[in-house]
Amino acid sequence: DIQMTQSPSSLSASVGDRVTITCRTSQSISNYLNWYQQKPGKDPKVLIYAASTLQSGVPSRFSGSGSATHFTLSISSLQPEDVATYYCQQSYGLPWTFGQGTKVEIK
């Protein structure tokens, strides 16, 4: 199985700050990497697919980059509504696996 390692596990930042979350994979997955946002008690929402393509309707402050084994999700200017847990997920090979999540809070 492809192992996913996200960092940090949690972070606290101020409104307006730039936030970056990292996802590393145990083997190269090209750009088969997706990012999801999950707010408490809700279902996940896809933010980014194919490492860097913004899902329709997602604010442009979210962006993704990376390839092979190193990927990042960035929020250019953190907003209160961005409080959530963020997950990376690889779709390169079965079983599809998720990172352990990064909890983002407002300072």
Partner 1 sequence: VELEESGGGLVQPRGSLRLSCTTSGFIFRNYEMSWVRQAPGKGLEWISYIGDSGSTIHYADSVKGRFSISRDNARKSLFLQMDSLRPEDTAVYFCARQKRGVTRFGVTGPYFDYWGQGTLVIVSS
Q: Contact residues for partner 1 (CB under 8 A)?
A: 31-32, 34, 36, 38, 42-46, 49-50, 53, 55, 87, 89, 91-92, 94-101
In whole angstroms, the minimum distance from the beta carbon of 81 to partner 1 comes to: 18
* Strand duo 10-13 + 102-106: pairing: parallel
Tokens of 67: 């390839």
Looking at the Cβ atoms of 17 and 22, the one nearer to partner 1 is 22
Looking at the Cβ atoms of 31 and 78, the one nearer to partner 1 is 31
DSSP states along the chain:
---EEEE-SEEEE-TT--EEEEEEESS--TT-EEEEEE-TTS--EEEEETTTEEPTTS-TTEEEEEETTEEEEEESS--GGG-EEEEEEE-SSSSPEE---EEEEE-
In whole angstroms, the minimum distance from the beta carbon of 64 to partner 1 comes to: 12
Looking at the Cβ atoms of 37 and 75, the one nearer to partner 1 is 37
In whole angstroms, the minimum distance from the beta carbon of 14 to partner 1 comes to: 26
In whole angstroms, the minimum distance from the beta carbon of 15 to partner 1 comes to: 26
